[in-house]
Structure 1
Amino acid sequence: MKNKILIHAPNLSTPGGKQTYFASLLDHFTSDIDFFFYGAQGKKEGKFKVLTRLFSDFWKFYQKLKENKYDLVHLNPSMNMKSFFRDSIFALICRITGTKMTIFWHGWQWEFEKKVTQRILPYFRLTFGKADSMIVLGKEFADQLKNYGYKNPILPITTVADPIFFKLKNKFDDSDYKKVSKNEITLLFLSRIERVKGIYEALDSFEALQQSYTNIKLKIAGTGGELAAAEAYINKRGIQNIELLGWITGEGKAKAFYESDIYLLPSYHGEGLPCSILEAMASGLPVISTDVGGIKDFFEDGKMGYLVPMKDPKKITEKLTLLLDNTDDIKTMGQYNISYAHNRFTPEKVSYELEKIYCKSISH
C-alpha cells in the first residue's frame, strides 16, 4: 500500500523556491501525495485579510487532518519571523491530531535564530521539536538543531532542478557555440529581486566590468519588492546592456539559462540550497555565489565557479574577470557542472531520496 503524504506548501503556481521544488518533483512521486496550499495564493491582502485568512488556514488544515488518515505531514518552514511562528501552529495541529510529521527547513536566517529561536527553545521543542524527523539542506543547520536538543533523525537532501533542464541539449556539443570565444558573454541573475539576494552587488560589479569589457550583457530575471528600486538604480547610474526579463518559468526560464554563460547569485539571504544554482549547473553555467546555507557543503570552488564573500562587489568583479579573461574556463566549468547536476539533481533522484525519508519518518 502506498504511503499517504500531505505536503504543506505555497500554491505551486506562484513564484518561489518551495513552489519550484515541489512542482519539479510532482510527477515523480510513487507515494499518494496530497497538498495543503496555505497563504494568499498570489493575491495582495490587507492586514485584516491576512489575519482572517491565517486563522482560516489553521482551521482548514485541522479539518483536513481529522477527515483524512495521512501517514505523514510534510511541513516546509524557514527560520525567519513569519514562517517560524505561522508554521509552528501547523506543527502544533499535527501534534493535536496525532499525525506524524517531518519538518523540511528551507531557509535559515541566523540573526532571527539567535535573537528569537534560542530564547524560546521550550516553544520550539513543543512544536517543531515533536517532529518525527527533520530535513536540512546544510550541515550547519543540522548541527544547530542538535544543539537545541533534537534527538530524532536529521536527514540531508538537496533541492532539485526543473525537469526541463535535463532535456536541454549540451550547448558545448553544438558546433555553433562560439560566443565566449568572441567575448560575447551574458551574465544571468535569476532570483527574487530583493536586496538580500545581492541584486545591488551584482549591478555594481557589472557596472565596474563595463569599463574593461564592452561585449558583456546582464540579464535580470525575477520579481520582488526591490524590483522598482533596482530599475531606478540602473537608470540613475546609466548602466547599459541590462535586460529585465521579469518573472519567467518553464521554457522561458530554460531559454534564459541556455542562452547565458555565467550565473550570478551573490546572496546574503538565509539560503538553504537555491534551485536556481542547480538549474544553472544543469544548463552548463559556471556559478558565482556566496558560501551561505547548503551551497558550501557541495560547491567545489574553482571547479564549479567561484564563491565570494557576502556584500563584496569588488570580489565578484575579480572572479568574473578571471572567467572573462580565461574563456576556456567557462566551457570547462560548464561541462563539469552539467555532468555533476545530471548525476545528483534530477527530479527522479531527489524524489527517491525524499520518499526514503518519508518511509523512515513513518516507521520511526
Structure 2
Amino acid sequence: MSKILFISAHAPTNLYPQAGQKIALSNLNKYHLDNTTVDVVVIANKAEINAATDLIGKYKNNLFTYSLNKSDKIISCLTNLSIPFKFSTRYQKAVAHKLQALLAKNTYDAIHFEYSHAAVYLDFIKPLINSKNTHTVISIHDVVSQSFLRQSENNLILGIEVARLFKFEKKIYSNVDQLWVLSTKDRNILTSLFAIPENKIIIKPPQLSDFIYKIKRNIEKVDQKSLLFWAAMNRSENEQAAINFIQECFVNLLKIDSEYKLYIVGSNPSAKIRKFASENIIVTGFIENPTQFFEKAQIGIVPLLQGAGIKLKTLEMLQAGLPVISTSIGAEGVETSKNIFINDRFDDWVNIITNLASGKLTIDELSR
C-alpha cells in the first residue's frame, strides 16, 4: 500500500469560490486510489477550512487542519525573519510538530507540497524523511517572485523582498524531485530564471469548472453590448482590475452608448466594488451556477494588471466560446491565440470593444 503526505497552504476544496483551491483538490484526488493512504495537512484561513466539507468528509481521520488569522501570520513573520514573508505566514510550530509526529511513525512514498509556500517546511522535513525512496513534489500555482516583481517598481521594501523570494524559491525548487506547473510559460520561467532542469518539471493544465462544458451559446441568448468579468472578487488583483476597467474604459463606453452592460460575477465583492452597482454594472456576488452569464455575455474581459500564473478565468471564458479581451498578464500561460485579443492600454479597449460589439470586426480581424 502506498502512503502519501500532502501538505497544502490553502484548503483543497470545490466549495470555496477561488480557482486555486479547486486545482489543489484535483491534485489531491490524483493520489486518492484504493491502495493509497493520504495524510492531508492544511494550513489555511479559517473561512476556507470551514467551507471544505467535501475535504473533511473524504479524508476524516487522515486530515489535520490549522486555521490562520491575521495575528497568526504577523507573529509568524516576526519570528521567522530569515524567511520571505509570503512563505513565513504559513510556518506554524503546531504544524511542524504534527509533521514531525507523522514522519516518525510513517514511511511515505511521496511528500507533496501544494502551493510553493507550503514548501516552507521542506528544510524541516528533509532530515526527518526515513526512506531514500521518498519522492518530493511541489505543485506551483504561481511563481511568487514574478508576482512580487510586478508590484516592486519604485518600492524599495518590495524590491528587497523580491530578492529574498528569488533566493528562497530557487532553493526549494532545486531541492525537490519534481515540480508541477500549470502551463508551458511557468515551466519556461523555472528553467530560465531558476536554472531548473526541464526534466524535473511536469506540466499539469488546470481542470476547468464542470459547468463550463455544459454551456451552449447561441445568438438568440446573447445580450448585445454586454461584458463579463468572471473572478473571485475578494482577491485584491481582481478588485483592482474591475475598478481600473470601470474608471478607465467602461465610463467612456457609456458615453458612446448607454446600453452597454458589465456583469461582475464572482464571490465576495467588496464595498468598493458594490458601490459601482447600477443598471449598467451588475455585481452579482457568489453565483452557484453562473451559466446564464456565460451564455448571455457578448464579450469576456480580463483587465488584470497584477498577479502571476495562468488565469483560470481566461481559460474558462475561452472554453465557453466567448471572445475575450485581455491584458498580457490576464493572458499569461494561455497557449492559444484563437478568440483572444491582448492589449494593455485601456484607452484602446474602448475602440476594441465597440468594434467587436457592433460586429464590425472579429477577434481574428483585430489580431491581423
TM-score normalized by the length of structure 1: 0.70
Secondary structure, in 3 states, of the residue corresponding to 1:63?
helix
- Which stretches in structure 1 are left out of the alignment for 5+ residues? 334-364
1:200 partner amino acid: I
Asked if structure 2 preserves the Cα contact closer than 8 Å seen for 1:165 and 1:279, the reply is yes
Report the Cα offset of residue 51 of structure 1.
Answer: 4.2
Q: Which residue matches 2:123?
A: 92
Q: Could you say if the C-alpha distance between residues 145 and 158 of structure 1 is closer, same or farther in structure 2, counting changes exceeding 3 Å?
A: same
Report the Cα offset of residue 26 of structure 1.
Answer: 6.3
**Where do 1:210-249 residues align within 5 Å?**
210-223=254-267, 227-232=270-275, 234=276, 240-249=279-288
Asked if structure 2 preserves the Cα contact closer than 8 Å seen for 1:140 and 1:293, the reply is no
2:220 partner amino acid: K
Report the Cα offset of residue 38 of structure 1.
Answer: 1.3
Asked if structure 2 preserves the Cα contact closer than 8 Å seen for 1:265 and 1:290, the reply is yes
Q: Could you say if the C-alpha distance between residues 34 and 257 of structure 1 is closer, same or farther in structure 2, counting changes exceeding 3 Å?
A: farther
Q: Could you say if the C-alpha distance between residues 133 and 264 of structure 1 is closer, same or farther in structure 2, counting changes exceeding 3 Å?
A: same
Report the Cα offset of residue 47 of structure 1.
Answer: 0.8
Secondary structure, in 3 states, of the residue corresponding to 1:210?
helix
Secondary structure, in 3 states, of the residue corresponding to 1:295?
coil
Q: Which residue matches 1:8?
A: 8
**Where do 1:50-61 residues align within 5 Å?**
51=75, 54-61=92-99
In the alignment, which of 130, 139, 144 is matched to residue 175 of structure 2? 130
CA offsets 1:265-284 (integer angstroms, 9 cap, x no match): 21122221122222222322
Partner Cα distance (1:21, 1:270) in 2: 17
Q: Which residue matches 1:336?
A: none
Q: Which residue matches 2:347?
A: 314
Residue 96 (structure 2) pairs with residue 73 (structure 1): no
In the alignment, which of 196, 201, 207 is matched to residue 237 of structure 2? 196
Partner Cα distance (2:125, 2:348) in 1: 46
Asked if structure 2 preserves the Cα contact closer than 8 Å seen for 1:94 and 1:100, the reply is no
**Where do 1:79-228 residues align within 5 Å?**
83=117, 87-98=118-129, 99-108=134-143, 109-110=145-146, 112=148, 115-116=160-161, 118-119=163-164, 123-146=168-191, 147-151=193-197, 153-166=200-213, 168-172=214-218, 177-180=219-222, 183=224, 185-197=226-238, 198-204=241-247, 205-223=249-267, 227-228=270-271
Secondary structure, in 3 states, of the residue corresponding to 2:352?
helix
CA offsets 1:143-169 (integer angstroms, 9 cap, x no match): 443343434612223222012322x15
Asked if structure 2 preserves the Cα contact closer than 8 Å seen for 1:191 and 1:276, the reply is no
Asked if structure 1 preserves the Cα contact closer than 8 Å seen for 2:326 and 2:343, the reply is yes
Q: Which residue matches 2:19?
A: 17
Partner Cα distance (1:214, 1:120) in 2: 46
- Which stretches in structure 2 are left out of the alignment for 5+ residues? 48-66, 77-90, 150-158
Secondary structure, in 3 states, of the residue corresponding to 1:10?
coil
Report the Cα offset of residue 195 of structure 1.
Answer: 4.9
Residue 69 (structure 2) pairs with residue 45 (structure 1): yes
Asked if structure 1 preserves the Cα contact closer than 8 Å seen for 2:2 and 2:109, the reply is no
**Where do 1:337-348 residues align within 5 Å?**
none
Matched residue count: 308
Asked if structure 2 preserves the Cα contact closer than 8 Å seen for 1:95 and 1:130, the reply is no
Greater RCO structure (CA 8 Å; 6+ sep):
1
Asked if structure 1 preserves the Cα contact closer than 8 Å seen for 2:263 and 2:283, the reply is yes
Q: Could you say if the C-alpha distance between residues 178 and 47 of structure 1 is closer, same or farther in structure 2, counting changes exceeding 3 Å?
A: same
Q: Could you say if the C-alpha distance between residues 317 and 137 of structure 1 is closer, same or farther in structure 2, counting changes exceeding 3 Å?
A: farther
CA RMSD of aligned residues (A): 3.5
1:280 partner amino acid: M
Secondary structure, in 3 states, of the residue corresponding to 1:35?
strand
Partner Cα distance (2:339, 2:68) in 1: 39
Report the Cα offset of residue 322 of structure 1.
Answer: 2.5
Partner Cα distance (2:348, 2:326) in 1: 11
Report the Cα offset of residue 132 of structure 1.
Answer: 0.5
CA offsets 1:338-357 (integer angstroms, 9 cap, x no match): xxxxxxxxxxxxxxxxxxxx
Partner Cα distance (2:167, 2:283) in 1: 46
Q: Which residue matches 1:305?
A: 340
Secondary structure, in 3 states, of the residue corresponding to 2:41?
strand
Report the Cα offset of residue 298 of structure 1.
Answer: 0.6
Q: Could you say if the C-alpha distance between residues 270 and 187 of structure 1 is closer, same or farther in structure 2, counting changes exceeding 3 Å?
A: closer
Report the Cα offset of residue 106 of structure 1.
Answer: 1.1
**Where do 1:233-312 residues align within 5 Å?**
234=276, 240-249=279-288, 252-292=289-329, 295-300=332-337, 303-309=338-344, 312=345
Q: Could you say if the C-alpha distance between residues 122 and 193 of structure 1 is closer, same or farther in structure 2, counting changes exceeding 3 Å?
A: closer
TM-score normalized by the length of structure 2: 0.69
Partner Cα distance (2:113, 2:339) in 1: 32
Report the Cα offset of residue 50 of structure 1.
Answer: 6.5
Secondary structure, in 3 states, of the residue corresponding to 1:264?
strand
Report the Cα offset of residue 227 of structure 1.
Answer: 1.7
